[in-house]
């Protein structure tokens, strides 16, 4: 229960964007827009003076861009930062980096700025600002978790081994930062493929995969329709596409579908994990991590029922939002609940893989 209003600072170089976002926030009785800023330098100054709870932050601005501003804000104080970004490749790349550097979540700008006032976008803005506020202390406590900046042996060419496992991983809010923590811990010759459903709109999942690939020994890529699953590779579901699996003898292929969203999500972890439960060629494992809601629980239930697969959940202390892991834990299907940084070792221990 919020007993006082959420104090918000709106940062954008466009006066029209500042006006629209401010107007949306002020329509909610829980919000108090305490100021606006037109560039990163002004944002830092106003944040210090006004001490907001949450800051909506444009990525591309003059004088000081959003990334430089974010790094300074993270050093300056405890703010919940929600990035507001366009979907160009450059902006998508910057948004992924911002999430790694401590931003809570992001909102994609529609191509027509006036579509920002649609009911769906209004709800997204309000819900993400409120969630950023409610999880501010959790996000602050996770700042110390190590984020890999690079690896000494990229992709370990020629060492990838025979495919023995397929790991289905569902994740949402807090996902990019969590994935950038765990994926670099796997060796390039992992005898498994990891298939990731991260709730994210089109345009951003490719940037996420590219960024994760830069810091991992696994080959990380955005999944493509009809490609064969291979060991030592992590596949990120493309935004706005479901992933299912198709078996052809010993070959398992990824199929991308535009069927309706499930539980409001496309891609859906439930769709991917349910399909994985029908793959009998290889051993399977399910992993559920930080995120709001219950996506993934139904699919994990199928994995447990049909394959008796090992199910691993991220623990509450390291989850930005504990909704998705909690839902699976409450179903009684989780074999192991561990902190974020212990997930890779836990997965490999169940596989019998030495780090």
Cα separations in angstroms, 185 against 101, 175, 346:
19, 16, 11
Alpha-carbon gap, residue 216 to 74, rounded angstroms? 25
Position of tokens 């501003």? 69
Q: Which of 12, 58, 93, 172 is catalytic?
A: 172
Alpha-carbon gap, residue 336 to 347, rounded angstroms? 10
Is residue 270 exposed (0-12), middle (13-18) or buried (19+ Cβ within 10 Å)? buried
Alpha-carbon gap, residue 341 to 242, rounded angstroms? 28
Q: Which two tokens stand for residue 207?
A: 């940037």
Sequence-separated (6 or more) residues with CB below 8 Å from residue 161: 189, 190, 191, 231, 232
Residue 13 CA, chain-centre distance (Å), reads: 26
The reply to whether 199 belongs to the active site is yes
Cα separations in angstroms, 230 against 134, 282, 307:
40, 12, 20
The reply to whether 172 belongs to the active site is yes
Q: Which of 216, 295, 297, 319 is catalytic?
A: 295
Do strands 233-236 and 242-248 pair parallel, antiparallel, or not at all (unpaired)? unpaired
In what order do the strands lie in the sheet containing 54-58?
A: 31-37, 6-11, 54-58, 80-85, 105-108
The string of DSSP codes covering 151-215 is: -SSSTTTT------EEEEEEE-TTHHHHHHHHGGGS-TT-SEEEEEEE---TTHHHHHHHHHHHT
Alpha-carbon gap, residue 41 to 65, rounded angstroms? 8
H helix or E strand, kind and range, residue 133: helix 119-134
Give the up-direction half-sphere exposure of residue 198: CA atoms within 13 A in the CB hemisphere.
Answer: 30
Q: Which of 58, 199, 297, 319 is catalytic?
A: 199
The reply to whether 242 belongs to the active site is no
Active-site amino acid positions? 172, 199, 295
């Amino acid at each position: 229960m919020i007993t006082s209003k959420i104090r918000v600072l709106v940062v954008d170089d466009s006066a029209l964007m500042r006006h629209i976002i401010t107007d949306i926030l002020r329509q909610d009785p829980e919000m108090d827009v305490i100021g606006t800023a037109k560039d990163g330098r002004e944002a830092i100054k106003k944040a210090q003076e006004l001490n907001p709870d949450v800051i909506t932050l444009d990525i591309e601005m003059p004088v000081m861009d959003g990334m430089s501003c974010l790094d300074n804000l993270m050093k300056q104080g405890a703010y919940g930062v929600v990035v507001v970004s366009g979907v160009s490749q450059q902006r998508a790349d910057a948004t992924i980096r911002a999430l790694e550097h401590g931003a809570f979540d992001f909102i994609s700008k529609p191509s027509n700025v006036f579509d920002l006032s649609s009911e769906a976008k209004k709800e997204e803005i309000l819900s993400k600002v409120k969630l950023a506020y409610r999880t501010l202390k959790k996000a602050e406590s996770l700042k110390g978790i190590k984020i890999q900046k690079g690896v000494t042996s990229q992709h370990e060419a020629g060492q990838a081994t025979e495919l023995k496992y397929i790991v289905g991983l569902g994740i949402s809010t807090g996902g990019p930062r969590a994935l950038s923590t765990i994926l670099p811990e796997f060796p390039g010759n992992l005898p498994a493929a990891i298939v990731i459903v991260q709730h994210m709109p089109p345009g951003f999942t490719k940037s996420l995969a590219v960024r994760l690939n830069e810091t991992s020994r696994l080959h990380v890529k955005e999944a493509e329709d009809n490609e064969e699953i291979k060991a030592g590779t992590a596949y990120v579901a493309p935004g706005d596409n479901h992933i299912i699996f198709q078996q052809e003898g010993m070959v398992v292929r990824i199929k991308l579908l535009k069927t309706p969203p499930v539980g409001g999500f496309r891609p859906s972890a439930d769709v991917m994990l349910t399909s994985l439960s029908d793959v009998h060629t290889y051993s399977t494992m399910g992993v559920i991590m930080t995120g709001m809601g219950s996506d993934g629980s139904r699919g994990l239930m199928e994995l447990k029922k049909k394959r008796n697969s090992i199910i691993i959940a991220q623990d509450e202390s390291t989850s930005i939002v504990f909704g998705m892991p909690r839902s699976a834990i409450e179903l009684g299907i989780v074999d192991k609940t561990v902190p974020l940084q212990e997930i890779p070792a836990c997965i490999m221990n169940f596989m019998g893989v030495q780090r």
